[in-house]
């Protein structure tokens, strides 16, 4: 039994090391990506190059913080002491707070858009509305009064009963 326990402890320690290395690699990739984005923005004379670089780095840091927290949890999974649990709690609070503020900043500055939404924005009309929208900005499939094309004149779904039940 002692051999199996030692083997599990060693496996967890190696796994923790792997997660720590992955977290460090994510930070390095984020720094490199942000630096390249910043330089490209400077070359193209874009005013928002610094902000874009910061948002790129923030995304990588948020992921790396999650990885590092996972590594810390792994280290206490094998025969934790109260001292280790206390340190983990302090680290978890600090990293969670950092991650919260990073996510908040990403959301505030528009860095949270899903890749599909960014791709759709690339197909926008010059005035910023989706390319498939009507000139007045309503979706192309909407009725002239703005309600969905499949809605009844009183605004309820076309398949709803007159009293509004579906």
pLDDT digits (tens, 9 = 90+) for 48-99: 778 888 888 988 998 998 898 888 888 888 767 888 888 888 888 988 888 8
pLDDT of res. 116: 39
Percent above pLDDT 70 for the chain: 64
- Gap between the Cα atoms of 20 and 13, Å rounded: 10
115-151 as b/e, with b when 16 or more CB fall inside 10 Å? eeeeeeeeeeeeeeeeeebeeeebeeebeeeeeeeeb
Sign of CA dihedral 60, 65, 67, 71: positive
Number of H helices, E strands in the chain: 4, 0
Where are the chain's structural domains? 2-112
**139: DSSP letter:** B
Confidence of residue 46 (pLDDT cuts 50, 70, 90): confident
pLDDT of res. 131: 56
* 3 state SS of 76: helix
pLDDT of 147 higher than 70 = no
């Amino acid at each position: 039994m002692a051999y199996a326990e030692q083997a599990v402890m060693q496996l967890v320690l190696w796994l923790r090391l792997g997660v720590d290395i992955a977290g460090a690699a994510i930070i390095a990739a984020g720094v490199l990506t942000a630096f390249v984005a910043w330089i490209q923005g400077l070359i193209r004379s874009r005013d928002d190059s610094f902000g874009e670089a910061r948002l790129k780095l923030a995304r990588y840091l948020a992921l790396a913080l999650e990885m590092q927290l996972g590594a810390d949890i792994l280290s206490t999974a094998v025969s934790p002491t109260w001292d280790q649990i206390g340190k983990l709690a302090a680290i978890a609070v600090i990293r969670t707070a950092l991650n919260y503020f990073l996510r908040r900043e990403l959301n505030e500055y528009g860095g949270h858009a899903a890749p599909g939404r960014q791709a759709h924005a690339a197909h926008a009309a010059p005035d910023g509305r989706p390319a498939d929208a009507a000139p007045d900005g309503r979706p192309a499939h909407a009725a002239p009064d703005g309600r969905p094309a499949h809605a009844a004149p009183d605004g309820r779904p076309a398949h709803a009963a007159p009293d509004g039940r579906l």
